[in-house]
């Protein structure tokens, strides 16, 4: 398993397949993609997990984090988040946050991310804002 930086375009097929398969692929783009950092987990040159990070000052936001369903539960997502947190600490980032799907909140809690505010919805999916001080 290897984690490396990838292009925004390289994230799109995996984002689409995992996060919003019933929407057009354009729905999986983020307006700020060209200014973000995009990480990919590779195994034998196959892209299996992606995550995008957008840094603003001392804060970093995780967006469009996805692991292919058939590879979930193998530690790739955990390795990805640990890698990103270490990277962000080296960059002087002090707050890491995301809008977490309600179904994934226990995953993010493993990294000491705390829920903030009330549940909200994006395209019918329930979310919570979660963050951790680095």
8 A C-beta contact, residue 60 and residue 51:
no
The predicted model scores a pTM of: 0.93
- For residue 46, the model assigns a pLDDT of 95
CA distance 36 to 6: 10
**Hunting for tokens 């705390």 — which residue is that?**
114
- For residue 123, the model assigns a pLDDT of 86
- For residue 120, the model assigns a pLDDT of 95
Q: What is the DSSP letter of 134?
A: -
Beta strands in 12-91 (DSSP E): 37-43, 46-56, 59-67
Q: Which of 74, 77, 72, 122 is nearest to 101 (CA)?
A: 122
Q: Quick one: CATH architecture of 2-98?
A: 3-Layer(aba) Sandwich (3.40)
Q: What is the pLDDT of residues 95-130, one digit of tens each?
A: 999 999 999 999 999 999 999 999 999 988 899 999
- For residue 112, the model assigns a pLDDT of 97
Average pLDDT over residues 16-45: 93
Average pLDDT over residues 30-42: 96
Q: What is the pLDDT of residues 38-73, one digit of tens each?
A: 999 999 999 999 999 999 999 999 999 999 999 999
Tokens of 85: 């947190």
Average pLDDT over residues 70-82: 95
């Amino acid at each position: 398993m290897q984690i490396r930086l990838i292009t925004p375009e390289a994230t799109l097929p995996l984002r689409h397949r995992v996060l919003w398969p019933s929407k057009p692929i354009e729905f999986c783009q983020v307006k700020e993609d060209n200014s973000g950092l995009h990480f990919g987990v590779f195994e034998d040159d196959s892209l299996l997990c992606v995550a995008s990070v957008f840094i603003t000052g001392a804060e970093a936001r995780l967006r469009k984090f996805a692991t292919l369903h058939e590879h979930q539960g193998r530690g790739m997502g955990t390795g990805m988040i640990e890698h990103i947190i270490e990277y962000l600490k080296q960059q002087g980032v002090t707050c890491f946050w995301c809008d977490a799907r309600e179904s994934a909140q226990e995953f993010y809690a493993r990294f000491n991310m705390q829920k903030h505010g009330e549940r909200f919805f994006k395209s019918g999916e329930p979310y919570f804002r979660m963050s951790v001080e680095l």
